[in-house]
Structures are given as structure tokens and as C-alpha cells.
């Protein structure tokens, strides 16, 4: 079974998706981490971020890998911490908008999704990567609350800079990615992580076929 969790930055996707996967005993795939890792590598290689084809080629020859505990690597380097820096936050949408890049990433994501029960988080999972996902969730939250949550994860950055970054990322992501029409939307602004996870867990369990 595929559980697709989409939504903007700070809506709670990662925390919820990780916990949910753990509770269900499902695999977990963070597609944002794949775009982030590629962005990190492109910056290291000094590739111009506006050039679609070379970035697509870089993606094809440098697959992103995840180990058992969720550490992220690309080109033989563990980039788990590096991809959460604000420079990467700002640059990811520039890289992620290129079609050749998305093609490679989506192909890999579908491959990984085909291996069994999995929770996949991203922005285009319920619409493009896995439109047949049995459970589709779109998490959202007020912008102010999303900024506050992000602030807790990026204590080194001022609130104004974070809010500006979130707004510009929302804008460029939204132009390309919308919630799936059949996704269940959950506003997490005033909900605890536990409550959101439980709500989704109930939906998933209701759809799981009981074993004979
Ligand atoms: O955690 P946060 O929402 O900040 O970001 P993320 O899920 O790690 O994704 C980072 C960026 O990658 C997003 O702002 C999108 O530009 C891009 N992305 C995408 O285009 N498609 C996806 N399936 C996932 C992420």
C-alpha cells in the first residue's frame, strides 16, 4: 500500500510521515531529501542551477540513497545534515523545477514505491508520482505557524528571513504543484503531531486488507 503525504514546508509532513511509517511498520521515503541532495551536489560541482539538461544528467548518474536509519547520501557523501541548511532551502525549488530532473526523480520514486508498503512524503506524490496511492493526505497550516515551526528547526536564521523564504518557496512550488483532488486535507495549525498521525493511521488501517 502507498500512503502519499503532500503539503508545503512547515505543515508537518516529515514528522508525521516518519512517525506514521514507524507505527505502521511501513517503509518511508522523503522525496524532498532527494531534491535537496541533488541541489547540494550541483552546488558542490559548480553547475549552473538554471541549466536543465546537465542537472538531469547529474541526477541520473548520482542516485540519492537512504540507509536503514534514514541517512541520506549522494556521490558517496553523507549529506543528511548539509541538506537542511538555509542555502539549500532557497536553492531547491530552482533545481526541482527542471523537467529532466523531475523525470529522473519520479522514476526512482516509483521504483522505490513499488517495493511494498510505504509512506511517501513530498509535493506531487498523490498527483504525479503515485496517483493510485490508496491513501492520499494533504497537510496544510497557517503561514505564521509554518514559519514558527521552521524557526524551531533553523534557529540560526531570523524570523523575517525565514518568512520571506517560505513565501517565495510556497509561490514557486504552488505554481507547479497542487493538492490531489481526492486527497484528504488536514489543517495541522492547531493539532498535535500525535492527533494527525492517529487520524491518518485510522484511514490506513481501515483500508488494509485483514490477513486471512
Ligand atoms: O520540508 P520542506 O517542505 O521544507 O521541504 P522538502 O519536502 O524537503 O522539499 C524541499 C523542496 O523540494 C520543495 O520546496 C520543492 O521545491 C522540492 N520538492 C519537489 O519539487 N517535489 C517533491 N516531491 C518534494 C520536494
Pocket-forming residues, ligand 1, beta carbon under 6 Å: 9, 14, 31-32, 35-36, 92-93, 96, 122-124, 169, 173
pLDDT at 166: 86
* pLDDT band for position 183 (cuts 50, 70, 90): very high
* Protein residue with its CA nearest to atom 12 in ligand 1: 32
pLDDT digits (tens, 9 = 90+) for 169-182: 888 888 778 899 99
The pTM assigned to this predicted structure is 0.93
Determine the pLDDT at residue 103: 97
What distance in Å separates the CA atoms of residue 24 and residue 33, rounded to the nearest whole number? 22
Protein residue whose Cα sits closest to atom 21 of ligand 1: 123
Q: Where are the alpha helices (DSSP H) in 62-192?
A: 86-96, 99-113, 143-153, 159-176
Average pLDDT of the chain is 93
Please tell me the distance from the alpha carbon of residue 107 to that of residue 129, in angstroms, as a whole number.
8
Amino acid 171: pLDDT: 85
Q: Distance between CA atoms of 201 and 104, rounded to whole angstroms?
A: 30
CA of 123 from ligand 1 middle (Å) equals 6
Q: How confident is the model at residue 212 (pLDDT cuts 50, 70, 90)?
A: low
Q: Which atom of ligand 1 is nearest to the CA of 93?
A: 16
3-state SS class at 50:
coil
Residue with the smallest CA separation from ligand 1 atom 15 is 93
Residue nearest to atom 8 of ligand 1 (CA): 32
HSE-up of residue 192 (Cα within 13 Å, Cβ side): 3
Tell me the per-residue pLDDT of 121-168, one tens digit each, with 9 for 90 and over: 999 999 999 999 999 999 999 998 998 888 888 888 888 888 888 888
Q: Which atom of ligand 1 is nearest to the CA of 176?
A: 20
pLDDT of residue 138: 96
Q: Are strands 77-78 and 184-187 parallel, antiparallel or unpaired?
A: unpaired
| H and E: helices and strands count for the chain | 8, 8
Amino acid at each position: 500500500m502507498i500512503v502519499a503525504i503532500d503539503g508545503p514546508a512547515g505543515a508537518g509532513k516529515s514528522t508525521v510521515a516518519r512517525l506514521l511509517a514507524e507505527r505502521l511498520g511501513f517503509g518511508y521515503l522523503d522525496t524532498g531529501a532527494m531534491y535537496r541532495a541533488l541541489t547540494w551536489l550541483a552546488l558542490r560541482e559548480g553547475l549552473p542551477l538554471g541549466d536543465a539538461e546537465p542537472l538531469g544528467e547529474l541526477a541520473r548518474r548520482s542516485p540519492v540513497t537512504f540507509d536503514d536509519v534514514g541517512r541520506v547520501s549522494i556521490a558517496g557523501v553523507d549529506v543528511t545534515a548539509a541538506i537542511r541548511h538555509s542555502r539549500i532551502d532557497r536553492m531547491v525549488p530552482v533545481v526541482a523545477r527542471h523537467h529532466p530532473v523531475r523525470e529522473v526523480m519520479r522514476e526512482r520514486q516509483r521504483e522505490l514505491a513499488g517495493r511494498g508498503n510505504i509512506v511517501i512524503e513530498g509535493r506531487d506524490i498523490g498527483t504525479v508520482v503515485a496517483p493510485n496511492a490508496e491513501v492520499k493526505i494533504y497537510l496544510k497550516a497557517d503561514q505564521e505557524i509554518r514559519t514558527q515551526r521552521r524557526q524551531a528547526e533553523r534557529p540560526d536564521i531570523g524570523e523575517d528571513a525565514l518568512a520571506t523564504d517560505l513565501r517565495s518557496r510556497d509561490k514557486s512550488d504552488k505554481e507547479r504543484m497542487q493538492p490531489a483532488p481526492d486527497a484528504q486535507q488536514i489543517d495541522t495549525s492547531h493539532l498535535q503531531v500525535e492527533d494527525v498521525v492517529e487520524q491518518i493511521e485510522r484511514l490506513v488501517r481501515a483500508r488494509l486488507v485483514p490477513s486471512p
